[in-house]
Amino acid sequence: MERIHVTVRSRPLSSEDAKTSPWRISANSIFIPNHSTKFEFDRIFGEDCKTGEVYEARTKEIVAAAVRGFNGTVFAYGQTNSGKTHTMRGSATEPGVIPRAVHDLFDIIQQDVDREFLLRMSYMEIYNEEINDLLAPEHRKLQIHESIERGIYVAGLREEIVASPQQVLDLMEFGESHRHIGETNMNLHSSRSHTIFRMIIESRDRTEDGGGDSVSSCDAVRVSVLNLVDLAGSERAAKTGAEGVRLKEGSHINKSLMTLGTVIKKLSEGAESQGGHVPYRDSKLTRILQPALGGNANTAIICNITLAQ
């Protein structure tokens, strides 16, 4: 697989936190002055950066590669209240990674006169290790299946054929309204589930008939999948004040994030290509994303952080 690209985005600090934070950013490193602790990444963006810069760092290339037939996955990762959902969804004045990717996807396709495309989208959440369809809220506790024809798939998950960026974003907005959120000490609107926003891209070569009109050829259809994943925030119960239902949610969130970390570590060490075991089946998240993590897939992680103490 391609090397996983890791981008870090630092959330703006309050004036009070800015006075007490020990962390500093220099180029693509985060460190504490006069201390041996230092972390280096592919790109680091400070608090003044725009989402467009984060998107251009790697996600834009992954979107273009998906049109060419390569599976791709982009994760937004970070603790509760670090700005993940803002990075992925954005706002009316500053579009996030998902709307930028959707617009780019349609722009690239419209410029390709040699191929005919069909786009489908799905939107699901994983809540307490249960899969819910955000486009069909009545479809809950869906199951993962695998077949020779379809590979790994979620049975009963609605896939909508889409023809414009606005249609996609309207469907996403509908799905978002059914996502599980809850209040913790760290965030009044904390996402309590992982969400996978997925675009399925099918294409085949065009040919021309005798009259010069384009018709579809009988050549093989090329299919690729683009996953844009908003991970629920990693958290510590002592900080969030979680108890009861919130504590159970946090436990499932942290377990699946740990599995994702293990899978990515194994892949980066070459376990899959060397015939070693990669624990995709240890969580619903990694099992669903298995085809878009291994093999020839492109993967990027956007780590949203706060430098507050």
Residue 78 counted as an annotated binding residue: yes
Residue 79 counted as an annotated binding residue: yes
Amino acid identity for residue 177 in this structure = S
Beta bridge partners of 195: 125, 230
Decide the pairing of beta strands 298-305 and 72-77: parallel
Residue 151 counted as an annotated binding residue: no
Residue 166 counted as an annotated binding residue: no
Residue 210 counted as an annotated binding residue: no
Decide the pairing of beta strands 181-182 and 190-191: antiparallel
Residue 309 counted as an annotated binding residue: no
Q: What is the mean pLDDT of each run of 10 residues along the chain (309 residues)?
A: 84 80 88 88 92 96 97 91 87 94 98 96 94 95 94 96 98 90 46 90 81 60 95 62 66 89 87 83 95 88 86
How many domains in the chain? 1
d(Cα 130, Cα 62) in Å, to the nearest integer? Answer: 28
For 116, the 3-state DSSP assignment is strand
Contact 144, 131 (CB under 8 A): yes
Q: What pLDDT is recorded for position 215?
A: 57
Q: What pLDDT is recorded for position 209?
A: 58
Q: What pLDDT is recorded for position 188?
A: 39
Closest alpha carbon to 39 in 51, 27, 30, 26: 30
Residue 20 counted as an annotated binding residue: no
Domain extent, residue 14, equals 5-305
Using a 10 angstrom Cβ sphere, with 0-12 exposed, 13-18 middle and 19 or more buried, the burial of residue 82 is: buried
Q: What pLDDT is recorded for position 279?
A: 93
Closest alpha carbon to 230 in 5, 78, 56, 52: 78
Quickly tell me which residue has 């891209």 as its tokens. Answer: 201
Contact 3, 299 (CB under 8 A): no
For 21, the 3-state DSSP assignment is coil
Q: What pLDDT is recorded for position 287?
A: 96
> What is the phi-psi region of residue 151: left when phi exceeds 0, alpha when psi lies from -120 to 50, beta otherwise?
left
* CATH code: domain of residue 205: 3.40.850.10
Residue 83 counted as an annotated binding residue: yes
Q: What pLDDT is recorded for position 44?
A: 95
Q: Other C-beta atoms within 10 Å of 234: how many?
A: 16
